[in-house]
Chains A and B, each alone.
Chain A
Amino acid sequence: EVQLLESGGGLAQPGGSLRLSCAASGFTFSTYAMYWVRQAPGKGLEWVSALSVSGGNIYYADSVKGRFTISRDNSKNTLYLEMNGLRAEDTAVYYCAKSGGAYAHMWYFDHWGQGTLVTVSS
């Protein structure tokens, strides 16, 4: 059974930093692209970042480009999102998601984690 477990959310001050982690199990992590998707309170889904199997293809939404960094450790089956320069508008539940196709990046998401809440406020 595929499981994705996010952690690292919490309260951060404007301009501050947080690092999210997503521990994956139940599939061969090293053969699937991974994603971060967020959802602001009461709003819809927004794709944040995508990372290919090898880490050689990285994509960011314009809203986070230059501030967020996605990475993965295939030896630990873990996906990360380093968030710097946080703004109030980054407040959201952040979901980790798995690609529906092996080795395919920019693909549909076939499994989602339960999410971790990030709140940016002074």
Chain B
Amino acid sequence: NVLTQSPGTLSLSPGERATLSCRASQSVTNNYLAWHQQRPGQAPRLLIYGASSRATGIPDRFSGSGSGTDFTLTISRLEPGDSAVYYCQHYGTSLAFGGGTKVEIK
């Protein structure tokens, strides 16, 4: 299952909303889709699993939605610390990552 993320880069101001897309080449079984955040120079961190469940300690500014082949990560009220690359990940029958979306805070 190939995951395609868009856009490649998103440049927004603090307080704005970011909408990131992850499209799968085949339907994702049981919405087994996760999102990870990777800040510059750091290891990735799990944000969302099961398409919409927030991981422990993740603020509610981060939300996931979608089903089938189209999934979205929304970051409301952007903060400077949200500057990062965001990756979607398919799991269940196989493992794969999308190419990532870079979010820049102006």
Contacts and interface: CB of A to CB of B under 8 A. Distances in A.
A66 B86 CA distance: 31
B43 A100 contact: no
Given A45-B87, A106-B91, A106-B92, A112 B34 contact: no
A27 interface: no
Mostly, the A contact residues are: strand
Contact of B46 (A95, A108, A114, A115): A108
B97 A100 contact: no
B100 A44 contact: yes
A48 B95 CA distance: 9
Contact of A47 (B45, B97, B99, B100): B97
A100 B44 contact: no
Contacts of B95: 35, 47, 50, 59, 106
B55 interface: yes
A110 B49 contact: yes
A14 interface: no
B2 interface: no
Interface string B18-54: 0000000000000010101010000111100100000
B43 A115 contact: yes
A102 to B, nearest CB: 14
Given A106-B94, A110-B55, A44 B87 contact: yes
B99 A44 contact: yes
Which of B36, B96, B99, B100 has the most C-beta atoms of chain A within 10 angstroms of its own C-beta?
B36
Interface of A: 35, 44-47, 50, 59, 95, 100, 106-115
Interface of B: 32, 34, 36, 38, 43-46, 49, 55, 85, 87, 89, 91-100
